[in-house]
Structure formats: structure tokens, C-alpha cells
Amino acid sequence: MNDLVFFTYPSCTSCRKAKHWLRAQNVSFKERHLFRETPTYEELMKILSLTTEGIDEILATRSQSFKKLNKNVEDLTVSEILKIIVDEPKLLKRPIITDGKKLIVGYNVSAFKNLTKKKTSA
């Protein structure tokens, strides 16, 4: 996972803004539709390993999808949470952008600049 991978959902405003920013900066990336090309359990483990805040960084606990689960995150193991996310990718915060070494969740221009600095200067 050395290339930039952009997990997105087209009707997500933050995803559209992030995509526009990346394209405006001529950053190449592989786009993955979160619901059509859902990250695998293994990919989610890799993404999770890049977080600084653990599962809280990628799990959209305020989403309607999460509320419908009627589960307490504290009562679940990481493995259980990741299996739920694979089945219900709407539970992920978005966009998710990674080069396999660093991770950005959400629309964050300063983080994009840091992550893409190497990608545009090559």
C-alpha cells in the first residue's frame, strides 16, 4: 500500500472536497468507493494500525448507522468492531486517505499537504 489510496463515498461533501483538493494539487491516487470496494478486514487492521486514537479515529459513532446497531463500543473487541465495519462500511468516518505509512481521516488540508509533499515532488 505505497500509493495513495482514497476511500470515498461520492455523496459525502468532505470526500468531494478532498478529491477536488488532491486533483488541484496534481496528486495521483487510487480511488476506492467505500460501499462498492469495502476495505477488507486486513485492510482495516492496517488502517487501524496507522491511527493515533485507535478505533475512535475511524468509527463514526455519531452516525445513524451506528446508532441503529444499538451496541456499546466499549463492550466489543476490536476484531468484532472490524467485522461489523466490513459488513456495514457506513460506520467508517470519511474520507480515509493513506499511503500505507500515514493516515488521514476527514477533510484536513494541512494533513493532506504533509502527506502529499513527497507525492508531488517526485
Question: Could you write out the DSSP letters of every residue in 37-79?
Answer: SPPPHHHHHHHHHT-SSTHHHHB-TTSHHHHHH---GGGS-HH
- Using DSSP's 3-state secondary structure scheme, residue 115 falls into helix
Catalytic residues, by residue number, are 12
Nearest of 104, 78, 92, 80 to residue 39 by alpha carbon: 92
